Amino acid sequence: MTRAKRPMRLALADGTVLDGFGFGANVESGGELVFNTGLTGYQEVLTDPSYRGQIVSMTYPHVGNVGVNPEDMESAKAHLAGFVVRELSPVGNWRSRQDLDTWLAEQGVAGIEGVDTRSLTRKLRETGCTMAVIGPASVSRDDLVDRARSMPGLEGRDLVAEVTSSVPRAWTQGCWELGRGYIEGVNDAASAPHVVAYDFGVKWNILRRLVTEGCRVTVVPASTTAEQVLALEPDGIFLSNGPGDPAGVPYVVSSVRGLIGKKPIFGICLGHQILGLALGGETYKLRFGHHGINHPVRDESTRKVEITSQNHNFCVDVQSLKGRAVVTHLNLNDHTVEGLEVPDANLFSVQYHPEASPGPHDAGYLFRRFVDRLRAS
């Protein structure tokens, strides 16, 4: 059955208005507009809590062609504010359980298709991320632009509180295996290294990777204090990805500062930025961020280049950390810091996503490195 066209508009705070057709939820929504360069993995993007408060535009022209299925979820629901594509595909492959249009409608997320997303990407690269609104064509262009201009930005906002766990919980699901699916009930023995994982908006495959590498995992809310974490008697501490500005969660920075040197620590994405702040450094906002699964990163110790999956708008200021941490990885596109280490405190972190969901597997060794340190200590 042919889907009826529903005229919609994408209005940017700079006055740009793009016409298209709506899909997903028939609602008006707004957020910070960013672009993602991934050719695959749109369902993982949609369910990544790190996109809270953002409208995501995909540069790949055909989106929706593999449908939606429960195995590719990275959290319990979609978190982004809106979705922009060049063309929505109604086709689903053999793994599909639902088409993207219907699923987004159930999730309450507005989408717009028929937009020249590559031109939009060039604009964002030149002028930077901007607030935007997806709204019906029945609303005037000027009104939609005014609504975009009135929206609060991400700087200083605590978006972590909107996506974190409400109570501590055990995580025992391992990675997906051919013919078996996700393996349940893994490493619940007391002899397994115990990792307490801060949930700042953690992706499920990160937790699966920790379990598959042999860890017993306890997930805790972002508000958990250092004293409460240490009371759980962990062998190591993991700091997860998450949305927004690391400077917007000073209570988390304070807790992490109290854990440095007490146990081995591994941080990813927002967790990496929070570690930078906890070490006394500073962070800043990138012009258009890093969002995609094809970012080259160089390991400074081996000089090897990894192709990485990334999703962040903020970055650690390496100059502010001189003498406090060693830079271990660099982004080869813009030479921003992608990894830090403090050997004396047994902590390290990376800005990118080594769990490869979606994305390449080049950086999977980092989970093994963390577990090796847990066993050694």
Q: Which of 31-35, 95-99, 223-227 has the lowest mean pLDDT?
A: 95-99
102 vs 104: CA distance, rounded Å: 6
Structure confidence at residue 43 as a pLDDT band (50, 70, 90)? very high
141 burial type by CB count under 10 A (0-12 exposed, 13-18 middle, 19+ buried): middle
Structure confidence at residue 91 as a pLDDT band (50, 70, 90)? confident
- Provide φ and ψ at 266, rounded to 5°: -130, 125
The string of pLDDT tens digits covering residues 315-374 is: 999 999 988 999 999 999 999 999 999 999 999 999 999 998 888 899 999 999 999 999
> What is the predicted pLDDT for the residue at 185?
73
If you ran DSSP here, which 8-state letter would residue 51 be given?
G
Taking residues 34-40, report their average pLDDT: 95
Pairing of strands 82-84, 54-58: parallel
Taking residues 279-308, report their average pLDDT: 96
The string of pLDDT tens digits covering residues 271-292 is: 999 999 999 999 999 999 999 9
317 vs 253: CA distance, rounded Å: 16
Mean pLDDT of the chain: 95
> What is the predicted pLDDT for the residue at 50?
97
pLDDT surpasses 70 at 22: yes
pLDDT surpasses 60 at 1: no
68 vs 285: CA distance, rounded Å: 32
pLDDT surpasses 80 at 92: no
- CATH architecture of the region 160-376: 3-Layer(aba) Sandwich (3.40)
362 vs 15: CA distance, rounded Å: 41
Structure confidence at residue 195 as a pLDDT band (50, 70, 90)? very high
Domain spans in the chain, listed from the N-terminal domain onward: 7-149, 160-376
> What is the predicted pLDDT for the residue at 358?
85
> What is the predicted pLDDT for the residue at 186?
65
The string of pLDDT tens digits covering residues 127-179 is: 999 999 999 999 999 999 999 999 999 999 999 999 999 999 999 999 888 88
Write out the H or E segment, with its range, that includes residue 143. helix 141-149
282 burial type by CB count under 10 A (0-12 exposed, 13-18 middle, 19+ buried): middle
Residue of 194, 291, 295, 353 with catalytic role: 353
CATH of 7-149 given 3.40.50.300, 3.50.30.20, 3.40.50.2000, 3.40.50.720 = 3.50.30.20
Residue of 74, 269, 312, 329 with catalytic role: 269
Q: Are 42 and 26 in contact (CB under 8 A)?
A: no
Position with higher pLDDT, 155 vs 187? 155
pLDDT surpasses 60 at 6: yes
- Determine the 3-state secondary structure of 225 from DSSP: coil
Taking residues 228-233, report their average pLDDT: 98
Residue 269 designated active-site = yes
Q: Which of 91-105, 146-160, 248-262 has the lowest mean pLDDT?
A: 91-105
Q: What is the 3-state secondary structure (H, E, C) of 67-136?
A: CECHHHCCCCCCCECEEECCEECCCCCCCCCECHHHHHHHHCCEEEECCCHHHHHHHHHHHCCEEEEEEE
Instruction: Name 178's Cβ contacts closer than 8 Å, sequence gap at least 6.
Output: none
> What is the predicted pLDDT for the residue at 189?
67
Phi-psi label, residue 6: left if phi above 0, alpha if psi -120 to 50, beta otherwise: beta
pTM given for the model: 0.96
